[in-house]
Structure 1
Amino acid sequence: MTIDPSKISTSITPFAMIDKHSALPQEQEILFTMHTVFRVGEIKQTAENSRLWEVQLTITDESDPQLTGLTYRIKQEISGRGWYRMGKLMLKVGHFHQAEELYNELLENASYDSERASVYYQLGWLKDNQGEYKQAVTFYKKSLQVYKETRPPDDPELGSMYNNIGLVYNNMGEYSKALEYYEKSIKIREKALPPTHPDLASSYSCIGLVYSSMGEYSKALEYYEKSNKIRE
């Protein structure tokens, strides 16, 4: 392990030697902070024991161009701050159980309705992706209720919430309920968004899919054509 003292911030202690406090002092244990980042160098099998591998690590700092680029990309793809961003990152990489534990903790300690609404939304997304649709609807509706109380009735975020609930009902095969929420979504989006906005195309396509599943093919075609017209 290589640690360049010039790369250690004066405001952060990246590691501490804890061998004097460890139950196994002969192991020379080191405790690292959560945000310490190392660059992985050479990886090789040890000569003494073929079951062990030696990894060469070099500590990095905020001036590392690759680390800076990666951090910027993550911030662009995953919005939010602190633990909320961590939860979204867990969802993105498919660590659903860990994300659920984190969101339940955030929900328990939330101080504002906006925080609770955000957590409910993420839990709804999580349950939807796990195929637990009834729970997904429950969480989405809890989030929607907060949004309805705190946002104007034509807020695009409300349109997205209605659309997500419609998607879940569609996955459940409850097409009449799916259509109900899709229509609420499209009503808001037609008012709040430009006529060529891709979210409108998505909504028209979703409604077309529901009508197709219900066997109402002429209506399905009507909405598919609206969607295609925007996407062209």
Structure 2
Amino acid sequence: MHTVFRVLEIKQMAENSRLWEVQLTITDDNDPQLSALTNRIKEEVQGSTGWHRMGQLMFKVGHFDQTEELYQELLKNASTDSDRAHIYHQLGYLKDQQGKYQKTVKFYEKSLEIKRKTLPEDDASLTPTYSNIGVVYYNMGEYSKALEFYEKSLKIREISMPPNHHDLATSYNK
């Protein structure tokens, strides 16, 4: 682990001053609060690389502009179709959370386009993207388009999952 400090106190040096005094204490590897925090972050933030995990963390704390900037940079440097599809999917999710549905659909469809070039039409990993596009169209009030994507997701799930799988039940609920 890198050097981590705990903030003890922060106080302004003088009234109307732009200088602040920050008192720190160094933590050690046996600090239980630091260990608990580190473990929790590892559980919450998933990703194939440190940069992907950083994007997830920035998203979770609400730094949407920085998250998008990072994902756009990752997209420029992505070396595989799988990475590009994943990053487009993440950008779609980001735009969905911002309520920018037109952009959301474009990112999800770009992810889907890449996935469909490399995967069979009935591959189970296509279902989250189909479902998410359906949700976006539903939120936009375009119910017939939403149904079209829900049905595509359901069809794949019926083929690829056992009849009692919880994801299949979720599909029936939409």
Q: TM-score range by the shorter chain?
A: 0.7 to 0.9
The number of equivalent residue pairs is 171
Equivalent residue in structure 2 for 1:59, among 7, 21, 26: 26
- The aligned residue for residue 35 of structure 2 is 68
The superposition leaves residues 19-51 of structure 1 with CA deviations (integer Å, 9 ceiling, x where unpaired) of xxxxxxxxxxxxxxxx6421122x2546x6245
- The aligned residue for residue 46 of structure 2 is 79
The superposition leaves residues 37-84 of structure 1 with CA deviations (integer Å, 9 ceiling, x where unpaired) of 21122x2546x6245654321223444332222222222222112111
Equivalent residue in structure 1 for 2:105, among 124, 137, 147: 137
Query: What are the equivalent positions in structure 2 for 1:179-198 lying under 5 Å apart?
Result: 179-198=147-166
Structure 1 or 2, whichever has the larger Rg, is 1
The superposition leaves residues 180-214 of structure 1 with CA deviations (integer Å, 9 ceiling, x where unpaired) of 000000111122223333322322222xxxxxxxx
- The aligned residue for residue 164 of structure 1 is 132
- The aligned residue for residue 97 of structure 1 is 65
Alignment of 1:118 with 2:86, yes or no, is: yes
RMSD: 2.1
Structure having the higher helix fraction is 2
TM-score by length of 1: 0.66
- The aligned residue for residue 172 of structure 2 is 204
- Superposition deviation, residue 167 in structure 1: 0.5
Cα distance in 2, alignment partners of residues 114 and 61 from structure 1: 39
Moved more, 195-204 or 181-190: 195-204
2:91 partner amino acid: L
User: What secondary structure does 2:22 align onto?
Assistant: strand
The superposition leaves residues 120-157 of structure 1 with CA deviations (integer Å, 9 ceiling, x where unpaired) of 01110111111111111111011112222223433322
Segments of structure 1 that go 5 or more residues without pairing to the other structure are: 1-8, 10-34, 207-232
TM-score by length of 2: 0.86
Moved more, 171-180 or 152-161: 152-161
2:55 partner amino acid: G
Segments of structure 2 that go 5 or more residues without pairing to the other structure are: none
Residues 194/65 of structure 1: CA separation in 2 closer, same or farther (3 Å cut): farther
Between the aligned residues of both structures, percent identity stands at 63
- The aligned residue for residue 127 of structure 1 is 95
Cα distance in 1, alignment partners of residues 144 and 156 from structure 2: 19
- Superposition deviation, residue 113 in structure 1: 1.1
Alignment of 1:174 with 2:142, yes or no, is: yes
User: What secondary structure does 2:168 align onto?
Assistant: helix
- Superposition deviation, residue 163 in structure 1: 0.2
Residues 131/57 of structure 1: CA separation in 2 closer, same or farther (3 Å cut): same
